[in-house]
């Protein structure tokens, strides 16, 4: 019987997002495909260092170890490499003991068309075109920033999200950007009891909440998964967020209404394996302290 990915949390990640391939990317950009190919073949037994998405992938794969009778997470390598140049990636996966067995090796082609085929719930990459195409196709996706230097290998899996244009739609964000803070606050007061529409990461958050609430380790303990909402909103725009999460039957573990205060200090204290935000400026600051991914706006 074929193996089904339908009921799994499937993470699609590019090889550059999982491992640090910046030297190799520079060779490709400066010297071309053949020089890149020769470099990878010559160094295929050298282990790659972790990349921007490594900590999150390693943490999520621990869920499978904690639920041996039920696999919860599948990770698929989605690479623009060809099979010929991919051995270094697989050797590095084996070195770190990552439970990854599936891969798309597209040979330079776009990866977005394969996301639905593998039922991908979250796509992580350093290639902006692929991330944008994934978002346009309705798949949660983020462009990762360079790895923060002080990532802590915590036993507890921690993921942090911005609100508008990430968990929630960009409806309110557009009002703020086009009409200013007063119009935004007035709109949120008037719609406080109306749930916000889902954003690109809503289904991912719902899936994580389902895992938290429905699976336990063999010893009966809850799975070590913790989520946080770190939003620029503050009173009076907080009420609609709270009511929306209640309507979705989701309880986020920690919530921070920042009111425009820089998010970096809170993120450094929370120590997420990944923080997702839609604003480049926020991501630049956050990526100095925690792994960070930018969620682009959907293009029609």
Cis status, amide bond into 236, omega within 30 of 0:
yes
DSSP-assigned states of every residue in the chain: -----TTSEEEEE-HHHHB--HHHHHHHHHH-HHHHHHHHHHTTTSPPPB-TTHHHHHHHHHHHHH-TTS--EEEEEEESS-GGG-HHHHHHHHHTT----EEEE-TTS-SGGGTTTTT-SEEEES-HHHHHHHHHTT-EEEEEPPPPTT----SSEEEEE-TBTTTB-SHHHHHHHHH-HHHHHHHHHHTTTSPPPB-TTHHHHHHHHHHHHH-B-TTSPBPSEEEEEEES--TTTHHHHHHHHHHTT---SEEEE-TT--SHHHHHHH--SEEEES-HHHHHHHTTTS-EEE-PPP--
> Which active-site residues does the annotation give?
162
CB-facing half-sphere around the CA of 53: CA atoms within 13 A: 30
């Amino acid at each position: 019987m074929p193996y089904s990915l339908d009921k799994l949390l499937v993470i699609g990640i590019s090889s550059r997002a999982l491992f640090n391939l910046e030297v190799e990317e520079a060779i490709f950009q400066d010297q071309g495909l053949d020089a890149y190919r020769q470099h990878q073949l010559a160094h295929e037994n050298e282990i790659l260092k972790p990349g921007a998405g490594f900590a999150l992938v390693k943490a999520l794969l621990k869920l499978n170890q904690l639920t041996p009778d039920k696999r919860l997470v599948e990770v698929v390598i989605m690479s623009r490499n060809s099979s010929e140049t991919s051995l270094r990636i697989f050797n590095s996966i084996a070195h770190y003991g990552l439970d990854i067995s599936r891969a798309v090796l597209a040979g330079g082609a776009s990866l977005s068309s394969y996301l639905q085929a593998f039922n991908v719930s979250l796509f992580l990459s350093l290639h902006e075109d692929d991330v944008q195409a994934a978002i346009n196709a309705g798949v949660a996706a983020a462009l990762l920033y360079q790895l923060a230097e002080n990532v802590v290998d915590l036993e507890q899996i921690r993921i942090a999200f911005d609100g508008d244009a990430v968990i929630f739609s960009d409806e309110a964000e557009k009002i703020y950007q086009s009409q200013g803070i007063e119009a935004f606050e007035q709109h949120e007061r008037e719609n406080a009891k109306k749930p916000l529409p889902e954003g690109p990461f809503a289904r991912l958050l719902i899936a994580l909440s389902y895992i938290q609430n429905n699976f336990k380790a063999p010893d009966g303990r809850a799975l070590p998964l913790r989520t946080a909402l770190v939003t620029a909103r503050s009173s009076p725009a907080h009420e609609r967020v709270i009511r929306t999460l209640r309507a979705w039957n989701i309880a986020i573990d920690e919530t921070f209404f920042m009111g425009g205060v820089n998010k970096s200090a809170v993120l450094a204290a929370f120590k997420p394996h990944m923080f997702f935000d839609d604003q480049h400026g926020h991501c630049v600051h956050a990526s100095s302290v925690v792994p960070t991914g930018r969620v682009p706006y959907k293009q029609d």
